Structure 1
Amino acid sequence: MKKANDTMKQTQEAHTANVRRFEIRNERCTAAMDRLGKLELEILQSFQKFSDIFERIQNKPEFRAFKHGDVTIPTYSPEDLKKVSVGAGVLLGGLSGAALGTAGGFAAAGATTAAVMALGTASTGTAIASLSGAAATNATLAALGGGALAAGGGGIALGTTILGATTLGMGLLVGGIIFNFTGNKLSAKADEAMEQMKKAKTEIDRICAYLESLHMTEERFEKALSATNNVYMRHLAQLGNLVILTGKTDWNEFTDSEKLMTENTVQLVALLFQMCKVQLVLSSGSTTEVNRINQVDIDLAINSSDAFLKEKGLTALT
């Protein structure tokens, strides 16, 4: 009897330690992804200010897409910019007090996609943008997370998982597997408890390795995005000073340096628009597999940012 009790105690202690290891790794990764998601939404929202300034410039030419070597940054339509800026504003309005992983879920799915979706309709048929802040945010997460929820067999309804209450955002980050986790309670039978602990450890090991990899990838992407955004914000301030403060709105009166600054700003918007489109995580669509990190598109976005800033001689401004 004592041996069985000792085994149970050791099993429970091992399981508790494994769960804590997961929680720490999860909190770190999710906080980083939340930070990235918020930054992306703030960038997208800022496009409204850019549009307001840019539209005042008369006689401006059509600006070409940036091309250098293998890197091409496509142009965008003014309508697209307005859509994402309004949608991003809707989502930002619901982030205060939102569950851990909410903003990160938007980054995982692509903030641009999330912002456009925020202007659509919820599954209830209600316009998402007409909902109050948190409700709009959650409706957008639900629309984005259809795959993760389907894989989880109902998602939030099964939310008494290892996290206590798994959020929709976590489903987007990790995948349907997160909804099918063994919680803290183990069987009262020692041999069954041992098997449950071992099975949970195997899944925790896989998810922790995934979260660590996602965290490292997020840091690389956020560094490139922040550097690009820093340059863009300086250019946006300069363009605002030129057009709004000095009242210079005729392209034909711009100096060469003012024209170059304007063109750079337009292309920085295009670059940021593309970077915020990147879906960091690809859904596994499975309850037994973690999601996949979208390394190809992430690397392409980082390389595009580096190439643009170097070619334009703007790296010193980052």
Structure 2
Amino acid sequence: MPLPLLFIGIAAATGGLGVGKTIKAGIDANNAKKINKNANEIVEASTEWLNAQRMACGNSLRQLGEEKLFILNSSITGFLDTFTKIKNVDFRESEGLEELKKLHVDEKEFVELKSMVSFAGSLAGGAVAGTAGGALAAFGAYGVAQALACASTGTAIASLSGAAATNATLAFFGGGSLAAGGLGMAGGTAVLGGLVAGPALMVMGFVAGHAAKKDLEKAYTNKAEALQIASQLNTASLQCETIRRRTYMFYNLLARLDTYFLPMIYKMEDIFQAEGDDYKQYSAESRKVIASCASTAVSIKSVLDTPILTDDGLLTDESEATATNIEGFLQNMRINI
């Protein structure tokens, strides 16, 4: 074979190989681009869903906080105004009313209710207007007793709104937004029992930044990371939904209890006007009304007291137990009415 023909053959073979590699590189680059785009879309979809769940959960906690304040400033206040004027109240000495003898209502419960009413009045007085969202979210999440336990009368509002601003879970739910002086989502990195919110904050550009490398192997790695991030975000979304359901359950319990409570308060006020202030002189039926009213007040207090979330953002076992107990109480109320 003449030497020039040999060179031409080699050049043709090499050129063909080069064209093949170029085509393969183009296909790989195109595939890498598609995979990276898909990875981005996976994380973005999970992030959008989590944000929707986060907002819904934060709103439900604020609504529960508002309901707690409303009941404390209305029904509980009305109950205490009359009940505290009645003398010689002793449910254990109710002849002929065996069910009242079993009713053990500690006077301490009503002392604590007075403190709650005072606290609620200060919270609703407008001093917390600038941080209402965070304060009410904390009020809904942690319960009144915990708020009172960590705050004196003078610093109750500041402590409550501060808890909303610094707690990672509530910051994540929007309770501690930057506008409210909190840390916002950026501050809530340790969210919902250890799930990391950080990846959700840098979704835009996290995966897309690798696409420029046009590296198919790296694109597959990106997608695997995207799936892992999406799994974490979806788990957080489910946790948000679970918390929201428990929050709505407590809201519903308070609303139903208040439905029974208000008519009883009116009856108690009528009894006080008609029969005076000495419980021992009341008729058997009147004593039963007073006892039922007091029992309902204590049940409402248990719902107000019970925290829904732990500091780690997990649902408390206590809230589940309280919900079960109150459902039983409401069932008995329906039977006795």
- Fold-level similarity (TM above 0.5): yes
The aligned residue for residue 212 of structure 1 is 241
Residues 37 and 106, structure 1, Cα contact 8 Å, conserved in 2: yes
CA distance in 2, matches of 1:178, 1:240: 54
Report the CA distance between 1:283 and its aligned residue: 2.9
C-alpha spacing 1:73/1:113, structure 2 compared with 1 (3 Å): farther
Alignment of 1:8-47 (within 5 A): 8-46=36-74, 47=76
Structure 1, 270-279 or 300-309: larger mean CA deviation = 300-309
Report the CA distance between 1:146 and its aligned residue: 6.1
Report the CA distance between 1:261 and its aligned residue: 0.8
Residues 82 and 269, structure 2, Cα contact 8 Å, conserved in 1: yes
Residues 308 and 316, structure 2, Cα contact 8 Å, conserved in 1: yes
User: Is 1:185–2:212 an aligned residue pair?
Assistant: no
CA distance in 2, matches of 1:114, 1:208: 27
Could you tell me which amino acid in structure 2 is paired with residue 185 of structure 1?
M
User: Is 1:235–2:253 an aligned residue pair?
Assistant: no
Could you tell me which amino acid in structure 2 is paired with residue 182 of structure 1?
A
C-alpha spacing 1:215/1:72, structure 2 compared with 1 (3 Å): farther
Alignment of 1:99-110 (within 5 A): 102-110=135-143
Report the CA distance between 1:86 and its aligned residue: 1.0
TM-score by length of 1: 0.71
CA distance in 1, matches of 2:52, 2:60: 13
Could you tell me which amino acid in structure 1 is paired with residue 316 of structure 2?
N
Aligned-partner SS, 1:282: coil
The aligned residue for residue 155 of structure 2 is 128
Aligned-partner SS, 1:186: helix
CA distance in 1, matches of 2:278, 2:103: 29
CA distance in 2, matches of 1:265, 1:167: 46
Residues 47 and 200, structure 2, Cα contact 8 Å, conserved in 1: no
Aligned-partner SS, 2:253: helix
- In terms of fraction of residues, the more helix-rich structure is 2
Residues 38 and 223, structure 2, Cα contact 8 Å, conserved in 1: no
Q: Select 2:106's aligned residue among 75, 88, 98.
A: 75
- CA displacement, residues 70-94 of structure 1 (integer Å, 9 cap, x when unaligned): x987524243222111112223345
- Let me know the Cα RMSD of the aligned residues: 4.0
The aligned residue for residue 291 of structure 2 is 263
Report the CA distance between 1:117 and its aligned residue: 4.0
Q: Select 2:278's aligned residue among 217, 240, 250.
A: 250
User: Is 1:53–2:82 an aligned residue pair?
Assistant: yes
CA distance in 1, matches of 2:222, 2:80: 60
CA distance in 1, matches of 2:66, 2:189: 18
The aligned residue for residue 132 of structure 1 is none
Where do 5+ consecutive residues of structure 2 fail to align?
Answer: 1-28, 93-97, 212-218
Residues 73 and 274, structure 1, Cα contact 8 Å, conserved in 2: no
- CA displacement, residues 234-286 of structure 1 (integer Å, 9 cap, x when unaligned): 2122223433x5583233442222211111111111111112111111233xx
- Higher Cα radius of gyration: 2
Structure 1, 217-226 or 245-254: larger mean CA deviation = 245-254
The aligned residue for residue 214 of structure 2 is none
The aligned residue for residue 283 of structure 1 is 311
User: Is 1:301–2:322 an aligned residue pair?
Assistant: yes
User: Is 1:166–2:197 an aligned residue pair?
Assistant: no
Residues 25 and 212, structure 1, Cα contact 8 Å, conserved in 2: yes
Identity of aligned residues (%): 16
CA distance in 1, matches of 2:244, 2:104: 26
Alignment of 1:87-166 (within 5 A): 87-93=119-125, 98=131, 102-120=135-153, 127-129=154-156, 136=157, 139-143=159-163, 148=168, 165-166=184-185
- CA displacement, residues 35-74 of structure 1 (integer Å, 9 cap, x when unaligned): 222212323334333222112223x22345xx99xx9875
CA distance in 2, matches of 1:172, 1:237: 48
User: Is 1:222–2:251 an aligned residue pair?
Assistant: yes
The aligned residue for residue 8 of structure 2 is none
C-alpha spacing 1:40/1:7, structure 2 compared with 1 (3 Å): same
The aligned residue for residue 287 of structure 1 is none
CA distance in 2, matches of 1:199, 1:301: 36
Residues 45 and 84, structure 1, Cα contact 8 Å, conserved in 2: no
Residues 308 and 319, structure 2, Cα contact 8 Å, conserved in 1: yes
- CA displacement, residues 111-147 of structure 1 (integer Å, 9 cap, x when unaligned): 3322454545xxxxxx325xxxxxx3x5314247766
